């Protein structure tokens, strides 16, 4: 088994959990997201896992396997600190957004991983008195997703505009050659 580090964690995630790629919302990720935006991929993966938790309950074997991986990372002194941060921010804070997710996290973590779950609750989670801001955060995320889609569309049309300008330049150049040849 190869060493897991921040550079290969998404590749390993997709290899270990191939059904994630078949999940309907996975299609919203483009190749650039998958290759360069580890946190975005993991945020989608957490949503996928939370859907599995809701649908299949706490005995879901894929969820158990994922949390086994999390425990192994947090309780291994040689783990990549970037991976631990990624798991804290995306997984533990993500699971803390629902009672069921938070309970699952608490029941399926040990040692340093359990400590990280509790630490993530200082920032977010259903147990915070100001948790009612979470729906606003969800709206912000949706707004960002719409903005990213808008940027991709603008980038596409910008490329088309550049091609059209190039065609116009070539056309003008050809007209210039035609005029200079025959006049």
The pLDDT score that the predictor gives to residue 2 is 54
Q: C-alpha angle 30/32/38, rounded to 5°? A: 100
**Model pLDDT for residues 54-98, shown as the tens digit of each residue:** 999 989 999 999 999 999 998 888 888 888 888 888 888 888 888
- The average confidence (pLDDT) of the chain is 81
- Both structure tokens of 138: 């969800």
Give me the pLDDT at residue 1, please.
44
pLDDT digits over 95-126, tens only? 888 889 889 999 999 998 988 888 887 777 66
What is the C-alpha to C-alpha distance for residues 124 and 108, in angstroms, rounded to an integer? 19
The pLDDT score that the predictor gives to residue 179 is: 84
- Cβ-in-10-Å burial (0-12, 13-18, 19+) of 63 comes to buried
Reported pTM:
0.66
pLDDT digits (tens, 9 = 90+) for 35-58: 788 888 888 899 999 999 999 998
Q: Are 86 and 42 in contact (CB under 8 A)?
A: yes
The full set of domain ranges for the chain reads 1-128, 133-183
pLDDT for 63:
93
């Amino acid at each position: 088994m190869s060493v897991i580090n921040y550079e290969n964690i998404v590749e390993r995630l997709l290899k270990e959990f191939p059904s994630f790629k078949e999940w309907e919302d996975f299609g919203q990720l483009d190749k650039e997201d998958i290759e360069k935006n580890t946190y975005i991929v993991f945020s989608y993966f957490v949503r996928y896992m939370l859907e599995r938790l809701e649908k299949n309950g706490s005995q879901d074997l894929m969820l158990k396997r994922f949390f086994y991986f999390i425990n192994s990372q947090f309780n291994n002194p040689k783990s990549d600190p970037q991976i631990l941060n990624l798991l804290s921010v995306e997984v533990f804070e993500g699971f803390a957004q629902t009672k069921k997710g938070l309970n699952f996290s608490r029941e399926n973590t040990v040692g340093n991983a359990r400590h990280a779950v509790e630490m993530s609750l200082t920032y977010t989670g259903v147990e915070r008195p100001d948790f009612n801001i979470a729906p606003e955060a969800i709206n912000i995320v949706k707004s960002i997703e719409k903005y990213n889609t808008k940027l991709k569309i603008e980038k596409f049309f910008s490329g088309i505009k550049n091609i059209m300008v190039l065609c116009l330049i070539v056309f003008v150049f050809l007209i210039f050659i035609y005029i200079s040849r025959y006049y």
